Amino acid sequence: MQKWKIPIGPGDATPALRGERLYLSIREGDEEASLCIDARDRGGFGAIVDLGPPLVALPSSGELVVFKPGGEGYEELAKYQVSDAAVYGHPVLAGNRIFVKDDSHLTLWTVN
């Protein structure tokens, strides 16, 4: 039984569910945003990987965003431009390494 549905544009990352909150990246035209919705009823709160306390989003703009989720919104912890080309997949995080696949390259970033 379908409970609700939300329209999202092409190239958006798979959402991440934490508790009753669903975090996702969306696109409308040339604009991109990360948002959080109540998974039970689609109520709003404010490219995403769950790292424990922080979450990581990588929208197609190639800007990796590390943030801490909260009830009224989120606190941005860091932001990095990891690709100049369009990115349409999750970043792969392994230890201090971040793998990013854009439309033509696979890039390895390291975090110290």
How much of the chain exceeds pLDDT 90, in percent? 4
Q: Distance from CA of residue 75 to its chain's centroid?
A: 14
Instruction: Specify the pLDDT at position 32.
Output: 66
What's the predicted TM-score (pTM) here? 0.57
Instruction: Specify the pLDDT at position 46.
Output: 37
Instruction: Specify the pLDDT at position 13.
Output: 63
What is the domain partition of the chain in residue ranges? 16-110
Instruction: Give Cβ neighbours of residue 103 (< 8 Å, ≥ 6 apart).
Output: 85, 86, 87, 88
Q: Over the stretch 7-59, which tens digit does the pLDDT of each residue have? A: 666 655 677 777 777 777 766 667 666 677 777 766 544 355 666 678 888 87
Q: Measuring CA to CA, which residue among 95, 96, 89, 93 is closest to residue 105?
A: 89
Confidence of residue 81 (pLDDT cuts 50, 70, 90): very high
